[in-house]
């Protein structure tokens, strides 16, 4: 069990560029979550997948954000036309369906938009 891994750990980009983050969940976990965390705040829910199906999206997730989990394993989160307000830590977590709630988090991908 290698845990949840996220890549890249840090990304610095210029406003208007596109960025993509990848998350590899724990292999037997069929649920995968994306959260965003800014300084002094708790993780804010963005979206989650059960296998390859995206079951819920937060209203925080604007049209510039898109997430995929094409084969029910790894997931990508893409942000198009980045804005300075997108600067945050993007957290991925996974869990098993039916488990009473424990999320296993990756270390996060920190995005800085200049």
- Does 74 sit near another protein (CB under 8 A)? no
Report DSSP state, residue 9: S
- Does 18 sit near another protein (CB under 8 A)? no
Least distance to another protein from the beta carbon of 67, Å?
16
DSSP 29-88: --EEEEEEE-TTS--EEEEEEETTEEEEE-TT--TTEEEE-TTSS-EEEEE-S--GGG-E
> Mask 86-105, x = binds another protein (CB under 8 A)?
-----x-x------xxxx-x
Q: How far apart, in whole angstroms, are the C-alpha atoms of residue 75 and residue 31?
A: 11
Stretch that binds another protein, among 21-29, 33-41, 59-67, 72-80 (CB under 8 A): 33-41
Residues near another protein (CB under 8 A): 4, 33, 35, 40-45, 48, 56, 91, 93, 100-103, 105-108
């Amino acid at each position: 069990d290698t845990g949840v891994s996220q890549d890249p750990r840090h990304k610095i980009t210029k406003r208007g560029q596109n960025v993509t983050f990848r998350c590899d969940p724990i292999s037997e976990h069929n649920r995968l979550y994306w959260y965003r965390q800014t300084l002094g705040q708790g993780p804010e829910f963005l979206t989650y997948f059960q296998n390859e199906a995206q079951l819920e999206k937060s209203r925080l997730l604007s049209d510039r954000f898109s997430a995929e989990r094409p084969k029910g394993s790894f997931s990508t989160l893409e942000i198009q036309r980045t804005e300075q307000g997108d600067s945050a830590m993007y957290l991925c977590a996974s869990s098993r369906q039916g488990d009473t709630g424990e999320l296993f988090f990756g270390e996060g991908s920190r995005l800085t938009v200049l």
